[in-house]
Amino acid sequence: MNLNLKAPISTIIAIGVGVFILSGYFIPLFPELRTSLLTTAMLLVGFALFMGVINLSLVHLDKIRQGSKTALYSFLLIISMFITFVTTILQGPDGFLPNWLFSNIQIPVETSLMAVLTVSLAFATVRLLTRRLNLFSIIFVFSAMLILLGSGPIFGFQIPFIGDTIRPYLSQILAGAGARGILLGIGLGTVATGLRILMGADRPFGG
């Protein structure tokens, strides 16, 4: 008899633990159990991080095996990951080589990506009126201009009214209010999604 118990068991566990943790925020019962469950969750998340690394390795190894056109980059990734792993195991996270690899490779790479993002955003802002010409696009560009003008001295000159009045008003009141409203909506959506999971109507864990 082939019984697929995976789905109902996982659902029961997910719903039960979720309800218990949620109720613990409102009704302080069994704090030790709640702490224990949270600790277990953190352990699983840490292990999931390790599983993510393994998954990443498997994907790139598969690319190397299939001989895709990006196999060289996959090979470099695997090699880099291996070297970093070995050095960190040997010297610890505070060791010389791990810090050197991190400080001289990872940080510059990611910083460069951020710089590319800056250029891309500037370019996207320039072409925004071409791609999507409407009132909101114009307001968007205009607001961005004001914030930039009030963020610091422009070629050494501080624009008086924009810097101390308009920019604070835009960023702290208009943008802040809008952001707060968006956050409220996101919060409601978060609660709704969580409740769907607790009700069993939404099972992102498969099965």
Query: Is the separation of the CB atoms in 179 and 193 below 8 Å?
Result: no
Report in angstroms how near the CB of residue 23 gets to other proteins at its nearest. 8
The residues that bridge with 158 in the sheet, in sequence order, are none
79 binds other proteins (CB under 8 A): no
How many other β-carbons are positioned within 10 Å of the β-carbon of residue 167?
19
- What distance in Å separates the CA atoms of residue 108 and residue 116, rounded to the nearest whole number? 12
5 binds other proteins (CB under 8 A): no
Give the residue ranges of DSSP H helices in the chain: 6-26, 31-66, 71-91, 96-101, 107-131, 135-151, 160-161, 167-168, 175-199
Residues in contact with other proteins, total (CB under 8 A)? 104
Q: By rule CB under 8 A, what string of x and - marks binding of each residue 19-48 to other proteins?
A: ---x--xxx-------x--xx-xxxxxx-x
Q: Determine which residue in the list 15, 17, 97, 144 makes contact with other proteins, applying CB under 8 A.
A: 144
Report in angstroms how near the CB of residue 9 gets to other proteins at its nearest. 14
Contact positions with other proteins (CB under 8 A) in 162-181: 163-164, 171-172, 175-176, 179-181
In the numeric block, which tokens belong to residue 16? 């039960």
The residues that bridge with 154 in the sheet, in sequence order, are 157
| Phi (first) and psi of residue 157, to 5 degrees | -115, 125
122 binds other proteins (CB under 8 A): yes
Report in angstroms how near the CB of residue 100 gets to other proteins at its nearest. 10
15 binds other proteins (CB under 8 A): no
Contact positions with other proteins (CB under 8 A) in 92-121: 93-94, 98-99, 102-103, 106-107, 109-111, 113-121
Q: Determine which residue in the list 12, 29, 33, 158 makes contact with other proteins, applying CB under 8 A.
A: 158
Query: Is the separation of the CB atoms in 197 and 203 below 8 Å?
Result: yes
